[in-house]
């Protein structure tokens, strides 16, 4: 038998957003997330059936294009594959549990980039750098790699530049799983680094998410 004191596990972090891992088992994962007023969890896709329980406070919870305000003591069930996001639009803190019940894993696929099976890939379509800001953008990317590489599950991060008159840049990010990527995505590091790069770009950047099914590289 094990008891967990939810109050003692509340984390908000320096940026007003934090995650506490309460249970991490193959068929059950429970995380407690704390959001201070004005903070949010970016829109992402549920990689397992999810149940959200509000512990205290209230916020706006979105799933597959629909939004509702939920307060203490309410549950929200989100199916596998649905898009989901959370925002604390109140004047008080919001604390909630994210309960995942992952489905049994399929047999390992034959190949994956970098020798890792089942890698999770995030493709970021960056807006063009502002005039005179390219060097600063490249330096930001170098520094951010050093920070992200410290997060568990990180595999690689590659920057692609435009050719033939194009202007947009792209980054390919590989993680061992969507779980490890989302832990990084919701971290204070990610929040701070993307605040730093926003003034360098002419517009917003668009994230796309993929599961790596297989790859082939020619032998040298």
Cα 132 to Cα 203: distance, rounded to the nearest angstrom: 15
pLDDT digits (tens, 9 = 90+) for 62-93: 988 899 999 998 899 999 888 899 999 999 99
Q: Which of 37, 42, 54 is nearest to 93 (CA)?
A: 37
DSSP β-ladder status, 83-87 and 154-160: unpaired
Domain boundary, last residue among 72, 100, 128:
100
For residue 129, being part of any structural domain is answered with: yes
Inform me whether the pLDDT recorded for 116 exceeds 70: no
In this prediction, residue 2 carries a pLDDT of 84
Q: How many domains does the chain have?
A: 2
Query: Both 128 and 61 in a single domain?
Result: no
Cβ neighbours of residue 184 under 8 Å, at least 6 residues apart? 148, 151, 153, 154, 175, 190
* pLDDT over threshold 60, residue 166: yes
- For position 180, which CATH number holds? 3.30.70.100
Please say which residue of 100, 130, 165 terminates a domain: 100
Q: How confident is the model at residue 185 (pLDDT cuts 50, 70, 90)?
A: confident
Helix (H) / strand (E) containing 189 = helix 188-197
**pLDDT category, 114, cuts 50, 70, 90?**
very low
Residues 38 and 90 in one domain: yes
What mean pLDDT comes out for the span 102-121? 55
User: What phi, psi does 154 have (nearest 5°)?
Assistant: -65, 135
* Residue at which a domain ends, from 73, 100, 127: 100
């Amino acid at each position: 038998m094990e008891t967990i004191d939810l109050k003692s596990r509340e984390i908000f972090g320096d940026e007003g957003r934090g995650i506490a891992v309460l249970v991490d088992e193959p068929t059950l994962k429970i995380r407690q997330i704390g959001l201070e007023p004005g903070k949010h969890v970016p829109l992402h896709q549920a990689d397992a059936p999810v149940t959200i329980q509000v512990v205290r406070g209230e916020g706006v919870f979105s799933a597959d294009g629909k939004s509702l305000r939920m307060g203490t003591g309410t549950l929200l069930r989100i199916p596998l594959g649905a898009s989901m996001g959370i925002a604390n639009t109140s004047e008080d803190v919001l604390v909630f549990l994210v309960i995942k019940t992952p489905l049994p894993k399929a047999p390992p696929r034959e190949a994956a980039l970098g020798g890792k099976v089942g890698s999770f890939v995030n493709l970021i379509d960056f807006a063009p750098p502002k005039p005179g800001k390219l060097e600063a953008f490249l330096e930001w990317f170098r520094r951010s790699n050093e920070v992200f590489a410290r997060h568990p599950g990180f595999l690689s991060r590659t920057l692609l530049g435009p050719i033939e008159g194009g202007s947009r840049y792209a980054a390919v990010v590989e993680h061992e799983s969507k779980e490890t990527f989302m832990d990084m995505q919701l971290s204070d590091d990610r929040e701070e680094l993307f605040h730093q790069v926003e003034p360098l770009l002419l517009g917003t950047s668009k994230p796309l998410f993929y599961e790596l099914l297989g790859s082939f590289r020619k032998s040298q």
